[in-house]
A and B are shown apart, each in its own frame.
Chain A
Amino acid sequence: MVLSKNSGGHRGMQESMYSVIALVFILVACVELCDAAAAIDVYRLIQYDMSGSAYGSRFAVLNHHAASLHFPPGADLSRAVLIIPLRELNITFVREYINQKKPLGGLLFLLPDIFSFENGGNKQVHEKEKLKNLLAELEQLLIHANIPYPVYFAFENDEIDTVLVDIKKNDAIGQPATATTGGYKLVIPTPEPKKVASPTITNIQGWLSGLKVDGDTNQLPTIAIVASYDTFGAAPALSVGSDSNGSGVVALLEIARLFSLLYSNPKTRGRYNLLFGLTSGGPYNYNGTQKWLRSFDQRLRESIDYAICLNSIGSWDNELWIHVSKPPENAYIKQIFEGFSNVAEELHIKVGLKHKKINISNPRVTWEHEQFSRLRVTAATLSEISTAPELLQGTGGLFDSRQFVNETAITRGVKLVAESLARHIYGHQGKNVQIFADGGSLAVNPAYIQSWLDLLSQTPRVAPFLSKNDPFVMALKKELADHTDEVNMQHEVLEGVFTFYDSTSARLNIYQVASVTFDLLLLLVLGSYLIVLFSFLVITTRGLDDLISLFRRPPSRKVKTA
């Protein structure tokens, strides 16, 4: 019995030992987590191959010292990361560095808060515009260059601002980045980027059937409304494309909602089918639209009266453009343009017509309607942009954020398109009839537009990084299904001209490090302290003779043996 009592006591001791050990482990884990001076989210420059040529930043792993723009001239930056805030960016400097292929450890661009979704900007308008243009220029430079070191984007915040001030101070003094204090090391531990295997593009279409009168066997004519929803920008994790083409997507959804209200009642259902298309692959010469059209059967394609493509209608004041590829003298084009002009006059909008011939042998497709025109379907693109954009330009980059989009512009655009379409469908051309009047049950809903615009401005939508069952794509499908009779999704593989690489965002750790000389100095100091301590203790406890005898041992032994 005594034994069991003892063993019980032992068990109690063991349990408390285990709890102590567990506590130690938890403490160890906690200490492990908060290691760095600062840790921020960073977004990598896109890496892609186009027709075999490599573009973008080819590396992702970063483990170098930080340097600022105030580095001493002639310093070796091949193992340093330049931290450049956008406000201090000198674009010629960066262009020179990239074009002359000067060695650099890495680049980190700091973007002001106004380009992120969470923080609004209460800055003056002209500063916003200047930054926007600068960022657009930087983006174009970076995505068309082959950069053999990592390039990352991050948003400014307090932590990194203090770090940058410190770095600048040290660079100004001329203290190298490896000094005892103020030396910062940037570490991004991310795996090497791999190719994205068979990137998919998903087209979503919604079909609203028109009213078929009994005895009428002919196929009803169809009007198509199309917008591409994917983006391409310098940082794929930040390419939200609020204006290009978030505004188009939102407008399409609102138009679908309005017409679904009209078409829900057989008395107000028009004699036209409505086909809504949300296409992907926009930045890549509207590859998705082409595949979508090719998937139609002949009858459907021939029944399309005309198609309206929406592209960037979010930040205009008073002027919109209709781009066509058929000559303006064409009767159909005249009809469409007149219909739009009449409505535009009433809404105090100026609408211009721009004609650009298509060249079938040239693979470059500037506007979405050109894909329709190549298959001989009448089409036009409504946009605020007047000049044709280049390849991979104006496709929703870093600068295209929520701050620069105006909901009222989209609302007016929706009204323009919806009224023009309705007047054409119901045969009220030229008449001053307001079908979607403000304040009525068919009014354009600004809250709907705003909530979808906010969602789109928070969702990066670069097509290769959107999987087949991506939640956003599913959300678009569900929304379109709410407003239409039938929804179909088409999954295709992006054509082989483009290859993309993953690893688009990571976590940057900033460490404050001490140099090797500091460690050696400390070792020296500690060594001398210990020697002094040893001598002091020997002298005080055993006497000075003992200390001296420690160094005189070998001779005394010799004397003894002799």
Chain B
Amino acid sequence: MTMFHFFNCAILTFGPHAIYYSATPLSEYDTLGTSVKAALVYLGTALVKLVCLATFLKVSENDGFDPYQELLKAVIGFIDVAGLYFALTQLTHRNISQNHKFQAVGLGWAFADSVLHRLAPLWVGARGLEFTWDFILQGLEANANLVLSISLAALGSLMWLRKNKPKTLIPIIYACAGIVATMPSITSYLRRGLGWHFPKVVGFELFTSLSMAFISWQLFSACQRPSS
């Protein structure tokens, strides 16, 4: 029955991406190409990040929280933002509205992230006889990551694609983008520095992703009002 468990965890981890694509108007406008291109950009970004981490980071013996190393990792994490910028602005997309563009890019980005980070451990671990809650928690983490990616893509499109924004909202937009971009560092600090257990960290991620999504949705609709 362990293939069963693998199947369960797989649909928890990858199902929401497919559901998102089919449920929203993305499927009607056939934005699959955009998502695929975004996924490829993510792949490239991941490689660049890997090379930078290998070059600049020191291997630590203990599993504690080293502020300097974490700061370095956060700086390298901004390569993610650069990749997202590239995917949003530089790639040639078909004629789709901004609304759908950021959703497709965010979806492709999150899907590539889930596949790269979570597929291999799932395939190897969930099929064994030993039962742990880890893979279910990992699936929930993938869901939170999807929401975060889409909100980051929304904020990114606000920052770089929309030219006329209300002046008051600009700092809020940049602040929220900064928070979402540094989310990986925050979670690793929680896990290593404060010693939170995995379920608690996943709960925190879900909560913050939902609140960030809500805030970015409000910002997006607020920025949309002047132009409409």
Interface residues of chain A, those whose CB is within 8 Å of chain B, are 13, 16-17, 20, 24, 27-28, 31-32, 35-37, 185, 187, 511-514, 516, 519, 522-523, 526, 529-530, 533-535, 537-538, 541-542
Contact = CB atoms under 8 A, between A and B. Distances in A.
A534 B19 contact: yes
A35 B23 contact: no
B211 interface: no
Given A32-B124, A35-B129, A537-B23, A522 B8 contact: yes
Contacts of A514: 1, 5, 131
A132 B51 CA distance: 62
B213 to A, nearest CB: 11
A530 B11 contact: yes
B41 to A, nearest CB: 15
Nearest to A527: B11
Nearest to B18: A530
Closest 5 pairs between A and B when the two form their complex, measured CB to CB: A537-B23, A511-B129, A514-B131, A541-B24, A519-B4
B8 A37 contact: no
Interface in B1-15: 1, 4-5, 7-8, 11-12, 15
Contacts of B12: 526, 529
A28 B19 CA distance: 29
Given A31-B121, A519-B8, A530 B16 contact: yes
B47 A28 contact: no
Contacts of B11: 526, 530
Contacts of A535: 23
A530 B1 contact: no
A519 B124 contact: no
A185 B23 CA distance: 42
B125 interface: yes
Contacts of B19: 530, 533-534, 537
What does DSSP make chain B's interface, helix, strand, loop or mixed? helix
A522 B137 CA distance: 13
Contacts, number: 75
24 contacts: A16-B47, A16-B50, A16-B51, A20-B50, A28-B124, A31-B121, A31-B125, A32-B124, A35-B129, A37-B130, A185-B129, A511-B129, A511-B130, A516-B1, A516-B4, A519-B8, A526-B8, A530-B11, A534-B22, A537-B19, A537-B23, A541-B23, A541-B24, A542-B25
B53 to A, nearest CB: 11
Contacts of A534: 19, 22-23
A223 B202 CA distance: 81
A548 to B, nearest CB: 14
A538 B8 CA distance: 23
Given A27-B120, A36-B130, A187-B129, A538 B23 contact: yes
B212 interface: no
Nearest to B51: A16
B47 A20 contact: yes
A28 B131 contact: no
A285 to B, nearest CB: 46
Given A526-B8, A541-B24, A542-B24, A28 B120 contact: yes
Given A31-B124, A31-B125, A512-B130, A526 B15 contact: yes
A278 to B, nearest CB: 47
Contacts of A31: 121, 124-125
A513 B8 contact: no
Contacts of A512: 130-131
Nearest to B16: A533
B128 interface: yes
